Structure 1
């Protein structure tokens, strides 16, 4: 598990585009001593950008000819070509999913908050204390409370730092605030209240929901998955996007009418299942994003 590798910076507007373009042009970009000057970021910000790209699974580190390099993943290439400025909510939703999925063990606080933490409304202080407790129960070594506090602060800002309507030049907002998954409410002198919010399906985007479903690693060989699992299992819609059962069923009904890859409802042992077609998540989203 990993903590506070973001250097206390949530990802800013335009960072994603800068990072993808720089790596596409130079595999050794993040190892260049003066790379921060190339993209106009401070050194710590540049380190933060590298962290986010790795945590989103759009950047891969490998060794070539004895040197460490970075290359874009298939998803990174697709987003570079189709939406490097992250203007589509579907792009944000897919990256949010990868962050919470935490495959590379880089984004523990996001995995914990969406997959493990069940409370939907809590004070910021209680949220922090709950994270401390969970980490202490799941880590062998002690983790600095300062690091955990930075993680909680970053988690909240990541989804709540909206653009300043009075400042068209505002570059400090986080693009992921458009997903409306978390709300921070000020309560006078008391601690802020942090809420999980159920977004509209149009906000998340049906294509991104389908991508998550196709990417689910627990899916059986017969391509069946239960509706209850989609609602309640880690890394699926109910957890990742705070969706209620009604919202999940609504989205599944839409996917039964997909023009190329419709899902199929099946009832087995008095349980509702759906069968998904034989297509990979990356091939599916490539078709959705790179049409025409």
Structure 2
């Protein structure tokens, strides 16, 4: 598991676009000693940007003819061509999903908070204490509490650092604040209270919700998955977007009317299942973007 590899920087507005564009122009960009000057970031910020691109599953490293290079993944190419400025909530939701999924072990705190941690309202000190306890129970080696504190701070800022309405030039906000998945409020006791927020399915985007279903490791060969699994399973709607069962069913009902790839309800052993069409998540997202 990995901790505090973000250099204490949550991702800022325009960073994503800068990173993808730089790699498209130069596959050795992040190995260049002066790359930070090219994109106008500090050295630690550049390391943070590289970390986020790997954590989002849009960047990969390869060795070609003995030389290490970076290239965009298939998802990275799709997003570069269609929404590299992260203007659509659907794009943000897909990247949030890949971050929480933590497939390559880059983003432990995000996986923990959305998949493991069940409290919906907690003081920041208690949130930190819970994370420290969980890490101590799941790690063989000792992890610095300073690293874990940086992870909690970054997690909160990642989803709550919104644009300053009074400053149109503000570039310090996190684009992921638009998903409204978390709120940080100052309490009378002098500490912040962190709350999980239940968004509307349309704020996440039906396209991204469908992509996540099609991309899930929980989908068996028969393409059947229970509604309970979608609500309660790791890396599925209920957990990664804080969605209630009612909100999950609301979104599923919309997908039964998809014009090209409708899902079907199936009742088996007194449980509600949905049957997914035979299309991959990448094929689906490409078809939606081309349609748009």
Match of 1:72 in 2: 72
Q: Contact (CA 8 Å) 1:82, 1:290: kept in 2 or not? A: no
Work out whether 1:230 is the aligned partner of 2:264: no
5 Å-filtered alignment, 1:152-167, equals 152-167=152-167
**CA deviations over 1:165-216 (Å, ceiling 9, x no partner):** 0000000000000000000011134211000000011110000000000001
Which stretch shows the higher mean deviation, 161-170 or 185-194?
A: 185-194
**CA deviations over 1:98-129 (Å, ceiling 9, x no partner):** 00000000000000000000100000000000
Match of 1:39 in 2: 39
User: How many residues are aligned here?
Assistant: 292
Q: Does the residue aligned with 1:33 lie in a helix, a strand or coil?
A: coil
Partner Cα distance (2:285, 2:150) in 1: 33
**CA deviations over 1:54-86 (Å, ceiling 9, x no partner):** 000000111111011100001100111000000
RMSD, aligned α-carbons: 0.7
Match of 1:211 in 2: 211
5 Å-filtered alignment, 1:80-91, equals 80-91=80-91
Q: TM-score, normalised by structure 1?
A: 0.99
Partner Cα distance (1:29, 1:285) in 2: 28
Work out whether 1:184 is the aligned partner of 2:184: yes
5 Å-filtered alignment, 1:130-145, equals 130-145=130-145
Q: TM-score, normalised by structure 2?
A: 0.99
Task: Tell me the CA shift for residue 286 of structure 1.
Answer: 1.2
Task: Tell me the CA shift for residue 290 of structure 1.
Answer: 3.0
Partner Cα distance (1:136, 1:154) in 2: 20
Q: Does the residue aligned with 2:198 lie in a helix, a strand or coil?
A: coil
Match of 2:104 in 1: 104
Q: Contact (CA 8 Å) 1:3, 1:148: kept in 2 or not? A: yes
Match of 2:49 in 1: 49
Q: Does the residue aligned with 1:262 lie in a helix, a strand or coil?
A: coil
Q: Does the residue aligned with 1:134 lie in a helix, a strand or coil?
A: helix
Q: Does the residue aligned with 1:190 lie in a helix, a strand or coil?
A: coil
Match of 1:174 in 2: 174
Work out whether 1:270 is the aligned partner of 2:257: no
**CA deviations over 1:120-174 (Å, ceiling 9, x no partner):** 0000000000000000000000000000000000000000000000000000000
Partner Cα distance (1:180, 1:137) in 2: 30
Match of 2:201 in 1: 201
